[in-house]
Structures are given as C-alpha cells and as structure tokens.
C-alpha cells in the first residue's frame, strides 16, 4: 500500500518531470534500478497523470477558451458555405487545434509499430543512459537555432497576439509540415530517456516557431497523449484499486501543483532563450545511468 508520503514524492516527480525536458519515464527506470523501487499502482499512476493534465488546462485556460470559441465560429462559417481555407485563416486558434490533432498521427503510427522495441528499452538502464545523452544533444542544438526571420512568417492583417515575434513563426505561421515533424519527434520520445517536451519543443524551435508557441504546441500536444495514456492504463483499475483514496487525492493535487509550477518555469526559461541549458542535466544523469549500468 502506498503511503501519503510516497504519494507526495510521486506527485512531485510526476508533476515536474512530465513537462521539463528531462524524461519522466527515464527517471522512473533510473530510480527503480538504484533504489529497487516498484512502479506506482496503476490507479495512482493514472490519477497522477490526470493531475498534470489539470495543470495544463488551468495554466492555458485562456487559450483553451479561444480554441473552443474559434472551433464553434469556424464550424458556423463552414455551414454557411464559406471557403474552408478562408475560414481557417480567419480563425487561427481553430487551425492550431487541428494541427495539434494532425501531429498525433505520426505519434500513433510510431507507437503502434515500434511499441515492443520501446517497451524493451525500459529494462535497460544503459539504453536509458544513452538516450539521455542523445536527448542532451537535441536540447543543446536549440542554442544554435536561427534567430533570423523565417521566410513566410510575415502576416497580412495578423490577428492580435498571434503574429510572429522576433521574426519567428507565431500561431498563424505554423504549417502542416511543422505539425508532422513535431508529432514524429513525440513518437520517438516514447523511448525512456528521450524527453517528450524536450524533443517536441526542440523540433518546433528548429522549424522557426517562436519560443512561446513552441511550448504551447508541445503542451497542447500532451493533452491527447496524456488522455490516451490514462485510458490505456485505466482498464479495470476501478475494480480493485490498490491504493488508499487519501493517497490518491494528495498525490493528484501535488502532481497538479508541481505541474503548474513546471509549466511556468518552462515558459520562462524558453522565452529567455536558455532552454538548451537542460542539456547539461541530461548529459550528467545520462553518464550517471551508464556508470550505474556498468557497476551493477
């Protein structure tokens, strides 16, 4: 039975590592190897993920309301026979939502065909260590991302608050190819040690998307990913929950609070252009994981 203290610790770890580019699954494998920890009960794990989902919904509540409003408005325009391209161009948040959904397609394809391979990596701390080193390289390369204006980011009559900043793509500049590349990066991040937020944000930055919208696209892309994970793990967990409801409630609240703080921190460092500094941590823990694998 999971204690309240253990639920608090799990909530903190889940909340911070879910959004920071350090790989939550990699940390799980690493901690299990060092301390002989077991995976948290399925019910608690689902609820902790639910807590991080709440953090996204609360932090980006204004954007979510704009997305809902734009989706209804665009549906109304389409029902009136207005050209779909014109409709989407005049409702950028609806277009943004559709691109997020599109980005899930390559993720699902990669997960379906390579699932057994990714699952096998969870049993090798050395593989996780190598993945952390690769993750660090990806993060470091964001420091080299061009700060020059990206061709095609200029907008005619841009929607207030959505145009490109500093010559980088704003919400109106994100294209289908950008979504496909970011979604593919998310698929690769199923491997433990490769950070989902790290690869998706890095891919967005490489594609010339501005820092704020790179983070937003990554975290909005996490919504269906987290929901899918909860649905897959939750089958039958209500029949025989193996953890106290008090521990679940505490852990979920802690995960939500830690996740909210992690998102705020992530937005701040990315806007400052120092996202790449997470590479140092990724390299350090990668080397540590490899050393542990050699000693054990």
Burial 130-167 (b: 16+ CB within 10 A, else e): bbbbbbbebbbebeebeeeebeebebeebbeebbbeee
Give the per-residue pLDDT at 43.
Answer: 73
d(CA 163, CA 209): 11
Give the per-residue pLDDT at 233.
Answer: 66
251: tokens are 């852990």
Give the per-residue pLDDT at 166.
Answer: 57
* 166: DSSP letter: T
Helices (H), 173-273: 176-188, 196-206, 211-233, 245-271
Q: Compute how many other C-beta atoms are within 10 angstroms of the C-beta atom of residue 116.
A: 7
Burial 73-96 (b: 16+ CB within 10 A, else e): ebeebeeeeeeeeebbebbbbbbb
- pTM of the full predicted structure? 0.87
d(CA 61, CA 250): 23
**Helices 4-17 & 245-271 angle (0-180, nearest 10):** 30
**Kindly report the CA angle at 272 between 271 and 274, in degrees rounded to 5?**
110
Domain extent listing, the chain? 4-67+95-295
d(CA 184, CA 195): 13
d(CA 76, CA 268): 37
CB burial of residue 224 (10 Å; 0-12, 13-18, 19+): middle
Q: Of how many residues is the chain composed?
A: 296
Give the per-residue pLDDT at 227.
Answer: 86
Give the per-residue pLDDT at 160.
Answer: 44
Give the per-residue pLDDT at 24.
Answer: 83
Give the per-residue pLDDT at 152.
Answer: 44
Distances (CA, A) of 210 to 38, 41, 104, 135: 40, 39, 21, 21
20 phi and psi, to 5 degrees? -75, 150
pLDDT digit string (tens) for the chain, length 296 residues:
678 888 888 889 889 998 999 988 888 777 767 656 566 666 777 788 899 999 999 999 999 999 999 999 999 999 999 898 888 889 999 999 999 999 999 999 998 898 888 878 887 889 999 999 999 999 999 998 755 444 444 343 344 445 455 568 999 999 999 999 999 999 999 888 999 999 999 999 999 999 999 999 999 999 988 887 777 666 555 554 567 788 889 999 999 999 999 999 999 999 999 999 999 999 999 999 999 999 87
Give the per-residue pLDDT at 155.
Answer: 41
């Amino acid at each position: 039975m999971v204690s309240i203290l253990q639920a608090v610790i799990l909530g903190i770890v889940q909340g911070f590592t879910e959004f920071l580019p350090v790989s939550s699954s990699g940390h799980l494998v690493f901690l299990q190897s060092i301390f002989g920890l077991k995976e948290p009960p399925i019910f608690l794990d689902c609820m902790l993920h639910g807590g991080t989902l709440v953090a996204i919904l609360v932090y980006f509540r204004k954007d979510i309301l704009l997305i809902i409003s734009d989706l209804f408005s665009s549906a109304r325009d389409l029902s009136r026979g207005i050209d779909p391209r014109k409709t989407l161009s005049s409702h950028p948040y609806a277009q943004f939502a559709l691109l997020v959904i599109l980005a899930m397609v390559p993720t699902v394809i990669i997960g379906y065909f390579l699932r057994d391979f990714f699952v096998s990596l969870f049993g090798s701390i050395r593989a996780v260590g190598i993945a952390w080193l690769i993750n660090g390289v990806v993060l470091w390369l964001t420091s080299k991302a061009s700060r020059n204006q990206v061709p095609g980011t200029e907008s005619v009559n841009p929607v207030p608050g959505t145009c490109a900043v500093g010559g980088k793509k704003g919400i109106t500049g994100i294209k289908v190819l950008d979504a496909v590349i970011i979604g593919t990066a998310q698929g690769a991040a199923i491997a433990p040690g490769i950070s989902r937020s790290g690869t998706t944000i890095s891919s967005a930055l490489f594609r010339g998307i501005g820092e704020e919208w790179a983070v937003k696209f990554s975290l909005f892309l996490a919504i269906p990913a987290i929901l899918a994970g909860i649905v897959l793990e939750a089958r039958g967990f209500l029949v025989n929950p193996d953890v106290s409801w008090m521990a679940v409630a505490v852990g979920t609240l802690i995960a939500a609070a830690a996740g909210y703080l992690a998102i705020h921190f992530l937005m701040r460092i990315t806007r400052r252009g120092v996202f790449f500094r997470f590479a140092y941590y990724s390299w350090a823990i990668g080397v540590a994981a490899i050393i542990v694998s050699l000693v054990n």
